[in-house]
Amino acid sequence: MLTRIDHIGIACFDLDKTVEFYRATYGFEVFHTEVNEEQGVREAMLKINETSDGGASYLQLLEPTREDSAVGKWLAKNGEGVHHIAFGTADVDGVAADVRSKGVRVLYDEPRRGSMGSRITFLHPKDCHGVLTELVTAAAPEATDH
């Protein structure tokens, strides 16, 4: 079961400038930053609100670490903007299996490592009406070291 919008992923050319825009314009502060080399991104998570399932909703600002990464390719083609949406669930394996059984391409055989020790997978945008869709199970609170 999907229980929240975990985050909206926004691709940008300059992470520091984009973080500053969200701080100066809306007052959102950086909750966490990391480099995920497997995904080819340097990212900042801005927490927007807690959610009723014990999780939270974030903006995920993404700067590519290399041109041939998913975000790097997308930026070269589209420029800056909303790159993906992520739904949160306590059971990313179960939801991915369920969605796959409905004929949607799940991009990874097994979930991979996402922000803050989460487990993530992606659904192909061409099977989701043009929306790259991520599924996220957050790390257990005691395991989170942001």
Instruction: Indicate which residues carry an active-site annotation.
Output: 7, 43, 60, 84, 134
Binding of residue 15 to ligand CMX (CB under 6 A):
no
* CB neighbour list of residue 31: distance below 8 Å, 6 or more residues apart: 45, 46, 47, 58, 146
CB of 126 to Co ion, least distance (A): 18
Instruction: Choose between 92 and 132: whose C-beta lies nearer to ligand CMX.
Output: 132
Q: Does 32 bind ligand CMX (CB under 6 A)?
A: no
Q: Using the rule CB under 6 A, is 84 a contact of ligand CMX?
A: yes
Which residues touch 16 (CB under 8 Å, ≥6 apart)? none
Query: Residue 71 interacts with ligand CMX (CB under 6 A)?
Result: yes
Tally the C-alpha atoms within 13 A of residue 103's C-alpha that lie toward its C-beta: 2
Q: How many CB atoms lie within 10 A of CB 145?
A: 8
Does residue number 74 form part of the binding site for ligand CMX (CB under 6 A)? yes
39 near ligand CMX (CB under 6 A): yes
**Bridge-based pairing state of the strands 56-64 and 2-11:** parallel
Q: Compute the distance between CA of residue 96 and CA of residue 111 in angstroms, rounded to an integer.
A: 9
Residues that bind ligand CMX (CB under 6 A): 9, 36, 39, 41, 60, 62, 70-71, 73-74, 83-84, 107, 114-115, 122, 124-126, 130, 132, 134
